[in-house]
Amino acid sequence: MQSTAADATTWHIGTSVASHSEDEVTFALCLEETDPLPHALAGGAHLLWQVLCLGPGTAEDLAERLAEATGATAEDLLPQLPPLLDRLLELRLVTPSEEALPHREEPGESG
């Protein structure tokens, strides 16, 4: 599945994925592999993994979270996400879905 920045695909970490994050790198592996090997995620992939750990989101949602974390603009980050998400999908670390997400309450937000 190829993603696009404009689609409504919701991305989340796979249910059979184990990961460990350190300051500037995340090690992740799909436990469904016959002989699972960890993948080292650094740079943008590491930052993307950190925001995926906060919960599922569309590419636009993830770009907004990354912008908050890095100080870059979501508009600058959004075009960079589809190739990263597609690579994480190839590694079986993330799962796409077309289902709508329930509202995610932010800290301090009351419904």
Do the domain assignments include residue 30? yes
Number of structural domains the chain divides into: 1
Do the domain assignments include residue 72? yes
Range of the domain at 39: 16-97
- The dihedrals phi and psi of 74, each to the nearest 5 degrees, come to -60, -35
* Contact (Cβ atoms closer than 8 angstroms) between residue 23 and residue 46: no
Q: Name the burial class of residue 107, with classes exposed (0-12), middle (13-18) and buried (19+) by CB atoms within 10 angstroms of its CB.
A: exposed
Do the domain assignments include residue 6? no
Residue 98: band (very low, low, confident or very high) from pLDDT cuts 50, 70, 90: low
Do the domain assignments include residue 26? yes
Average pLDDT estimate for 73-85: 95
Do the domain assignments include residue 106? no
Do the domain assignments include residue 2? no
SS3 category, 41: strand
Do the domain assignments include residue 28? yes
The Cα–Cα gap between 19 and 6 comes to 28
Do the domain assignments include residue 38? yes
What pTM value is reported for the model?
0.79
**For the segment 20-31, what is each residue's pLDDT rounded down to a tens digit?**
999 899 999 999
Closest CA to 83 of 9, 26, 6, 4: 4
